[in-house]
Structure 1
Amino acid sequence: MTTPTASVDRTENIVRVVNAYKSFSAGQWTLQGLNMNVPPGSIYGLLGPSGCGKSTLLQCILGTISLDSGFVEMKINKLTDVGYMPQELCLENTLTIKETFEYYGALYNMSKNKLLNKMDELNVCLQLPDKHSYIKDISGGQGRRVSLAISLMHDPKLIILDEPTVGIDPVLRNDIWSKFQTMVNEHNITIIITTHYIEEAYQANTVGLMRNGVLVEEASPQDILIKHNTETLEMSFLRLCYNQDTNRENEQISSEAVVKTRKPKQKLKNPGAIMSFSRIQALLKKNSRVCVRDYMLLFNLVVLPALQALNLCLCVGVDFKHMPIAYKNDEVKFSDCQNVKCIFNENHNDTLSCNVLNYLASHDYNLIEVNSVEDGEMSLNYPSYMAFLYFPENYTKSVQTFLADKGNYDVKSMVSVHFTKENMLFRNQIIRDVTDCINDVVENVVTYCSYYNPKLQGIPMDVNTMYGKDVKYVVHSIVSIFIAMGAFYFPSIFAVSCMLTEKLDGILNRSMFAGVTALELLSSMFFINTVIIFIQMTLSMLIVYVLFSNPVQITTGFYAYILLVILLGCIGFFFGLLIAGLSTSKIGAVYVITGWSLIQFTLSGAIWPVEGQPFYLKAVSQVLPLYVAGKTMNDIALKGWTLAHPAIVLGTTVIFAYALIFLLVLIVLGRLKKDMWVIQK
């Protein structure tokens, strides 16, 4: 056992806690009038059972938790003078040990040579695993040794360690304590270390015995043994616990009884600039490695949008293929069919029903002949048939009569179409195609025969398409909304995934003690998010507009199209950060983002035009970011409107305003909710 150094002058304590009270729930005090004095150049062992408030006390000393009453004084005022090891690991598990050292070395602005020398020194002292091992692949004890090494690597003046030796081999644990003694003796470093191993406390210069939120004793191990006339610290601690229970048996402290004595909270200063390029560079390097190695995240951000673009173009808003239609043709057998050329030729023996059936077959309908009209009508009772067509025996002659003299047309000789209504889309396409087919057949026959009859003219209206002449399918009208949806949704998922990982795993909290600010982390994530947006946008547009040739008008307005996609990505990113800041659960945050995105997608006109909505819902839909961006992008792609068009200017301005509003909300909430990005570990 290493003998502790001589007693140190306590007149100038490096850390002083006075009358500290802290409660996280009504009537339950984590700290109850605690007083603590840590002399410089010593080891202070904070000993106590789990749940007695040791970690909370450390967080109050570090300033990440505010006291309800009391205050903390420190002779340290710079973050770089403090080394902190939390109780949890709080390290990126997809980085190697070497990369972890490089990350924190860059945050502490250490030179390459100094970093390498420190890695070698700590490797020998703490017996670290191979430097190329990933954090996720090493054991819990090895991980704690790496965590301890990170807190020691920059030679801080004050080291705060929350149970650093848990799960570590006893022999190595003794070596670590010997290292602590050397650091104190040779470099005048102060170490505050929490532990529940009573045997470790003998090696501390000062021991604080903590129970029920107070220090029941604070002195050197020898003084405690002498004062309580015991042979071990464990016996002293048991005697103190008994005395505490006896003295506090009927004592309860209410929040009203606590006198609010609080000095302004001392905040450790960051010696660097508010925005440090070197720290942002370190964050970019670290976060890029994490993203590249998170295959599921990459799949969701890059591959999944491309697959969805493929699915959209292949499956949504296009004509249905191979729909089975039963038919009965009393004019002629289908095998004997020939297309009609001119039915006004007295010697013709052709049948128009053949033209109709051939037309439908050329449009990929699956035509199935039945034996009778009754069989055709009964076929609709089975899910394998969608419609039934019946051509009477004199169908061609009746059409000839209709074209020549509508007044003598026999209605019973017309083609009859039977179908079910359970799917309106199927029914509408069949009606459209059959109608177009008959009109086309009649027009071709009349044209071929050079037959003209004023009665064949349509209604007196000239229809001209000014915009969107190339729009033939529903998918052409929704691809822009789909791209806008992806630009919003996937950055939201990226922001939630990365930020909540940093937050819930305590990685951001630990990085902040190395000098990182929330603004620097958000800046690095914003840069990575922008790169991902460009990759996602490029892949989606190549699939939609190049591979599947969806109509698009290339004008100056296309610059606004790209800008709208980027701005939607920013809105999605800010929205994801907002949810991450308010949430403590990844699953809950993803549910919120997915639900909100689906609501926007439903109301934006992608599934059904907003003109079909009730007026009160329509008023809401028309101000949603996805609707405004999607409509503006559609106007650019399908109508060819340019940058100078008022509608394009207005839509782009509104989306830019949305991005600013989300950013401002994020900033204001970050100032109001101080623990927005940090969960104490």
Structure 2
Amino acid sequence: MDAETEGLPPNNTIVEVTSTETDLATRRRLFKTQPSTLAARRQQAVCVRRAHKMYGNSKNPNVVLDGLNMTVPKGCIYGLLGASGCGKTTLLSCIVGRRRLNSGEIWVLGGRPGSRGSGVPGPRIGYMPQEVALYGEFTLRETLIYFGTIAAMARSDIDDRTEFLLKFLNLPNGSRQVKNLSGGQQRRMSLAVVLLHEPELLILDEPTVGVDPVLRQSIWDHLVDITKTGNTTVIITTHYIDECAQAHVIGLLRGGRMLAEEAPTFLRQQYNASSLEEVFLKLSVLQNMGRRRRSSIAQEIVEQVQVPAISNPALDMSDEHNTADISGEFGDNISMNSAIRDPITAAEMPASPLPNDKEPPATLMQYLDVISSHHMRALVWKNYLWMLRNVGIMMFIVALPVVQIILFCYAIGHDPTGLKLAVANGELSEQMAIDQFCPVFPGCNQTYLSCRYLDMLKKNKSMEVKFFQNEEAANAEVRRGNAWGSLVFDKNYTNSLNERVESGRYADNATIDSSDVNVRLDMSNQQISTLLYRDLQYTFFDFVEDILRDCELNPKIGRIPVDWERPIYGTRNPNFTDFAAPGVILTIIFFLSVAITSGAMLIERNEGMLERCLVAGITGPEILFSQVLSQFTVVILQMTFVLIVGFGFFDLTNEGSMWLVIALCLLNGLCGMCFGFVIACAVDTERTATYVAMGSFLPIVMLCGIIWPIEGMYPALQFITVFLPLTKPTECLRSILQRGWGFSEPSVHNGFISISLWVLVFLVLSILFLKFKKG
């Protein structure tokens, strides 16, 4: 069948219509179906009716599409022209199903974008966005393998198409990384990804920007060639207006409305213009003439541009034709195609709405069938390849929690040492105080007992003692911040202490007062002052028992009448490290998982890769589960090193099952990953994600019982802490490590249940954000 019979241009020629008859034949082929029936509209590649899209709120709306109508026949090249900001990219995003209209309808390849079985988004379309949207660390061949696998292409077909596209688009060797290409080469590589699987509908957003003119013409020749069979349709936007003379149909878009939708030569003939740019100018003037409020710029243009007589009633801007249109819902722009007209006779046809073709309710199996094996294979391969190409980053990510647990074990929970005490000992002579000499007599010897007590204080508690001649000097040392407390002994301290012990209840007040050690502490630091308060008393008990033992008396005589038996759980002298370790371990694993996943997702989205993959047919659950599979490897490595360092090297207390500890840490890492997904899907920038992560870090650390018992919090906060993700898991891990409890204990299995529920909540939120967070 020849080209004239099919209404297609001859081979390797620009679509140029040289006569009215030929132009009409082309238009009849492209618009051969009436758009008033469902079957007819499904024969169009793209059908848009009364499309409204705006951003912002109703008080200050930013209208991007204003009642737009658009028809793209199958098997043609449709050139979409318009200035920056006129709504081209938004319209294309709506066509591929990545944005939703505020009102209006869109049909693509016979179905509604996003409906089940439509293939849109999916393999039936190829979308080239304005940004490069490729992984810079991947080679050209790896990039094409990735997108070919998404499209379910055989490996041999991918290799064949790769060789053809690299040669056709004049790209370097396939082993070159994308980040090492020039800007023009990256654009051509982005085009190669779109052409790879030969989709039914190609949507190219400015594909020839920065491309050599010869190569640009070669690309256009290829687009003309692939549309000859009628099986491929191309929608292309470009800044080069006259370049679209090679398109079968062009749509002139301005201010969110379509000025015209015709064959290029027909427009030039109709408006007696030598170029499409001149046609665009005249149509823009006509649009401005239909507005109530003309700008001064529009008036100057109208005076300079000769507007031809209007032969198409659709373009009549007179007041009597457009009084209703002027008072449009979203402003005073006039839609050039507010009425649908026959492309041959220009007769007005009713713009009936797209038929109501509601989808049948989805079955359970259709809801579950959201994960494709070849999609998962491509995504997981891509994620691991990215990790291999960023070894330095991955080593830092794995090593960071190890550094943090080391810092925690070395810095937190140990008793302070080297604490300075100022001592005014009245039992010492002035010279002995100057020489810092305090004699100690071991055994059952009641001489200089103050020195014996101070010696035990220095040996057992590693405190530093400095002697002063009087109480005022010792207190002054504390006031200057050079000591944490002052101890004052009376000059008759030893005799008075012996008398007090011997006389017991009969000791007089003077003896009791002179046998006391007067202590004044710097209480500005609670931890240090509390430890000093404890150690000064415990050392005195040890001091008394040591003397009694040396004198062959029962040391219990010197103890308080309370017998402290072996604790049921824990040790006699618990340390803060064991208390805080469970919460710190979970916090490290949780928030590093948040950082890893949110960072990876945001990099993909901000570079355009996430959008490109979603248009290619990747679903939200597939992206999330592929990230879980790949990032979980990192979480396992992090958790392994943290546990080895914490329990192997620093010997943290563990009285329970290590398997329960491992299982809880894995669930905790998974929960952190899912929270990272929520952050990445909910926000738009790395800065906002950082703010959200930091904003959630402090409340979780403070309210989940990690650094302070929940029982010590305000009652309202105690209720809130129950619903935080790390509260129950921290109690669970503390019960395993300190008490040795098993899974049957409520405190343990409640922790597992709580964190599992949070995993499900975060996963559901992530999927919902991916599905519904569209512009």
Global fold match (TM > 0.5):
yes
> Does the CA-based 8 Å contact 1:560-1:648 persist in structure 2?
no
8 Å CA contact 2:493–2:514 kept in 1: the answer is no
Q: 2:216 aligns with which of 164, 169, 173?
A: 173
Q: 1:404: which partner in 2?
A: 502
Residues 48-87 of structure 1 deviation map (CA, whole Å, 9 limit, x = unaligned): 1111111122223223333344433343643323211012
* Aligned partner (choices 561, 567, 588) of residue 465 of structure 1: 567
Please say if residues 360 and 437 of structure 1, whose CA atoms lie closer than 8 Å, have aligned partners that are also in contact.
no
Q: 1:350 to 1:386 in 2, by over 3 A?
A: closer
1:518 match: 620
Distance 1:620 1:68 in 2: 39
Deviation digits for residues 314-357 of structure 1 (CA, Å, limit 9, x no counterpart): 1112211222323344545476555432244xxx7565414523
Separation of aligned partners in 1, 2:610 and 2:78: 27
1:675 maps to 2:775: no
- What residue in structure 2 maps to residue 584 of structure 1? 684
Distance 1:24 1:200 in 2: 30
* Contact 1:481–1:606 under 8 Å retained in 2: yes
State the SS of the aligned residue for 1:159: strand
> What is the aligned partner in structure 1 of residue 54 from structure 2?
24
Q: 1:605 aligns with which of 705, 725, 732?
A: 705
Q: Give the structure 1 partner of residue 77 of structure 2.
A: 43
Whole-angstrom CA distance in 2 between matches of 1:197 and 1:639: 74
- Equivalent residue, structure 2, for 1:311: 407
Q: Residue by residue, what CA displacement relative to the aligned partner does 1:76-110 show, whole Å, maximum 9, x if unpaired?
A: 64332321101222222333323211211211222
SS at structure 2 position matched to 1:322: coil
Structure-2 separation of matches of 1:674 and 1:652: 29
Aligned equivalent of 1:388: 486
Deviation at 1:567, TM superposition (A): 2.5
Instruction: Specify the code of the residue in structure 2 equivalent to 1:342.
Output: G
2:66 maps to 1:56: no
- State the Cα deviation string for residues 450-471 of structure 1 (Å, max 9, x = none): 0348853422445441111276
Residue 425 of structure 1 aligns with an amino acid whose one-letter code is: Q
Decide whether aligned partners of structure 1 residues 157 and 410 sit closer, same or farther in structure 2, where only a CA change above 3 A counts: closer
Moved more, 404-413 or 528-537: 404-413
The higher-RCO structure (CA 8 Å, 6+ apart) is 1
Query: Aligned AA for 2:109?
Result: K
Q: Which residue of 1 aligns with 2:227?
A: 184
Tell me the SS of whatever aligns to 1:574.
Answer: helix
* Compared CA separation, residues 521 and 322, structure 1 to 2 (3 A): same
1:322–1:364 Cα contact (<8 Å) kept: yes
- Corresponding residue number in structure 2 for 1:436: 538
Larger radius of gyration: 2
Residue 489 (structure 1) aligned with residue 591 (structure 2):
yes
**In the aligned structure 1, how far is the partner of 2:651 from the partner of 2:754?**
29
Per-residue deviation, 1:144: 1.2
The range that moved more, 408-417 or 209-218, is 408-417
Farther-moved stretch of structure 1 (458-467 vs 657-666): 657-666
Please show how residues 590-669 of structure 1 align to structure 2 within 5 Å: 590-666=690-766, 669=768
* Aligned partner letter, 1:302: V
- Would the aligned equivalents of 2:88 and 2:253 in 1 still touch at CA under 8 Å? yes
Counterpart residue number, 2:320: none
Who is 1:254 aligned against?
329
Deviates more, 1:207-216 or 1:254-263: 254-263
Does residue 574 in structure 1 map to residue 662 in structure 2? no
Counterpart position of 2:416? 320
Residue 516 of structure 1 and its aligned partner are, at CA, apart by: 1.3
Worse-matched range after superposition: 240-249 or 406-415: 406-415
CA change 1:196–1:576 in 2 (3 A) is same
Paired with 2:355 and 2:700, the residues of 1 have a C-alpha distance of 48
Residues 251 and 260 of structure 2 are in contact (CA less than 8 Å); yes or no, is this contact kept in structure 1? yes
1:125 CA displacement: 1.8
Offset of residue 428 of structure 1: 1.3
504 and 325 in structure 1: CA distance in 2 versus 1, 3 angstrom threshold: same
Contact 2:50 2:67 in 1 (8 A): yes
1:4 aligns with 2:12: no
What's the counterpart of residue 158 of structure 2? 115
Contact 1:533 1:569 (8 Å CA) reproduced: yes
Question: In structure 1, how many angstroms separate the alpha carbons of the residues matched to 2:288 and 2:109?
Answer: 35
Q: What corresponds to 1:507 in structure 2? A: 609
Distance 2:535 2:456 in 1: 12
Instruction: Name the counterpart of 2:441.
Output: 340
Task: For residues 173-207 of structure 1, give each alpha carbon's deviation from its aligned partner in whole angstroms, at most 9, with x where no partner exists.
Answer: 23322332333347853221101212311222222
> What is the rounded CA distance, in whole Å, between the counterparts of 2:414 and 2:94 in structure 1?
62
User: What SS is found at the alignment partner of 2:74?
Assistant: coil
Task: Specify whether residues 658 and 62 from structure 1 end up closer, same or farther in structure 2 by C-alpha distance, changes over 3 A only.
Answer: closer
Shift, 1:361, TM fit: 4.5
**Does the alignment pair 1:245 with 2:291?**
no
Q: Aligned pair in 2 of structure 1 residues 499, 310: CA closer, same or farther (>3 Å)? A: same
Aligned partners of 1:19 and 1:69 also within 8 Å: no
Aligned partner of 1:548 in structure 2 is 650
8 A contact 1:20–1:31 mirrored in 2:
no
* Contact 2:65-2:91 at 8 Å conserved across structures: yes
Q: Which residue of 1 aligns with 2:322?
A: none
Find the residue that maps to 1:160 and give its secondary structure. strand
Instruction: Give SS of 2:772's match.
Output: coil
Which shifted more, 463-472 or 302-311? 463-472
- CA RMSD between the two structures: 3.2
C-alpha contact (below 8 Å) 1:337/1:351 kept by paired residues? no
Q: Provide the secondary structure at the position in 2 that maps to 1:202.
A: helix
From 275, 284, 290, the counterpart of 2:386: 290
Contact 1:63 1:265 survives alignment (8 Å): no
Deviation at 1:147, TM superposition (A): 0.7
Q: Gaps spanning 5+ residues in structure 1: where?
A: none
Q: Is the CA contact (8 Å cut-off) linking 1:291 and 1:298 kept in structure 2?
A: yes
Equivalent AA in structure 2 for residue 56 of structure 1: T
Contact kept in structure 2, 1:73 and 1:266, CA below 8 Å: no
| Number of positions where the alignment pairs a residue of Structure 1 with one of Structure 2 | 668
Task: Return the letter of the residue paired with 1:274.
Answer: V
Q: Secondary structure at the match of 1:659?
A: helix
Give distance in 2, aligned partners of 1:454 and 1:190: 97
Which residue among 142, 145, 150 is the counterpart of 1:99? 142
Structure 2: distance between partners of 1:588 and 1:515: 28
Q: Secondary structure at the match of 1:436?
A: helix
Q: What is the rounded CA distance, in whole Å, between the counterparts of 1:263 and 1:531 in structure 2?
A: 50
Shift of 1:358: 4.8
User: In the TM superposition, what is the alpha-carbon distance from 1:265 to its structure 2 partner?
Assistant: 8.0
1:226 paired with 2:269, answer yes
- Is residue 127 of structure 2 the alignment partner of residue 84 of structure 1? yes
Shift of 1:483: 1.6
1:186 and 1:17 map into 2 onto residues whose CA distance is: 21
Match of 1:424 in 2: 526
CA contact (8 A) 2:54 2:65 kept: no
Aligned amino acid, residue 340 of structure 1: F
Equivalent residue letter for 1:15: A
Q: Deviations for 1:16-65, whole angstroms, at most 9, x for unmatched residues?
A: 42433222144554223333333333322111111111112222322333
Instruction: Tell me the percent identity.
Output: 29
Distance 1:156 1:470, change over 3 A: farther
SS at match of 1:489: helix
Q: 1:371 to 1:128 in 2, by over 3 A?
A: farther
1:531 alignment partner AA: T
- Per the normalisation by structure 2, the TM-score is 0.79
**Deviation, structure 1 residue 297:** 6.1
TM-score, length of structure 1 as denominator length: 0.89
Does the CA contact (< 8 Å) of 2:656 and 2:741 recur in 1? no
- SS of the equivalent of 2:99 reads coil
Provide the rounded CA distance (Å) in 2 between the counterparts of 1:336 and 1:213: 93
Structure 2: unaligned runs, 5 residues or longer = 1-11, 18-25, 34-42, 111-117, 294-325, 333-337, 339-350, 360-365
User: For the residues of structure 1 that align with 2:723 and 2:614, how far apart are their CA atoms?
Assistant: 38
Q: Aligned partners of 1:380 and 1:360: how far apart in 2?
A: 18
